[in-house]
Structure 1
Amino acid sequence: MNGLRNYNEEIINHLISKILSQYNDICKCEKCILDIKAVALNSMTPKYVVTKKGELFTKLNAEFNNQEIIDTTRAITQAIELVRCNPQHNKK
């Protein structure tokens, strides 16, 4: 691992497909999915990691912390609702 990373991206990438599969009425183009991820990430407190050790610690903490999963699911769900009502994929 090189550089600075927000570990919330990993959690969102892990959960987003499962959550999106529950929605039939939302666009799932690449632009809309990226918008959902961006909105969700911007609503969450960042969890930056630099080292592999920090990444592993953060990963273990997230896997054993149900509140972390609940909060991330809520952030993704709220982002889905926002993007569903305001899709940007046809705008330049």
Structure 2
Amino acid sequence: MIILKNYMEEVVLNLMDDILKDMDLCKCDKCKMDIAAIALNNLPVKYVASEKGELYSKLHILKKQFEVDAITEILKAAALVNESPHH
């Protein structure tokens, strides 16, 4: 079965808890999903379609830049959500 996945979603969700753990802001599920949504809306979509993830190996080369971009957007989104949480 072929799957379609936004690779940036995986990057953001994998990094988010580690980035937010030391920040003084609400970490309820609603706030965390708002942060993820805002960050992802500000990042380029990187879709991959693969049976066994062979495209993931090609994306590995760009992983560090994707992570830097994701961290930047997560921090900006966290500040925004912290100013006006919706929970």
When normalised by structure 1's length, the TM-score is 0.82
Name the counterpart of 1:15: 15
Residues 1:45 and 2:44 aligned together: yes
Task: Give the structure with the higher percent strand.
Answer: 2
1:18 to partner: Cα distance? 1.2
1:2 to partner: Cα distance? 4.3
- CA distance in 1: counterparts of 2:11 and 2:70, whole angstroms: 7
Name the counterpart of 1:84: 82
Secondary structure of residue in 2 paired with 1:38: helix
Secondary structure of residue in 1 paired with 2:3: coil
1:61 to partner: Cα distance? 2.2
Task: Note closer, same or farther for the CA distance 1:2–1:82 as it changes in structure 2 (3 Å cut).
Answer: farther
Structure 1 gap segments, 5+ residues each:
none
- CA distance in 2: counterparts of 1:57 and 1:83, whole angstroms: 33
- Corresponding letter in the other structure for 1:55: Y
Structure 2 gap segments, 5+ residues each:
none
- CA distance in 1: counterparts of 2:73 and 2:49, whole angstroms: 24
Secondary structure of residue in 2 paired with 1:50: strand
When normalised by structure 2's length, the TM-score is 0.86
Structure 1 vs Structure 2 CA RMSD:
1.6
Report % sequence identity.
Answer: 36
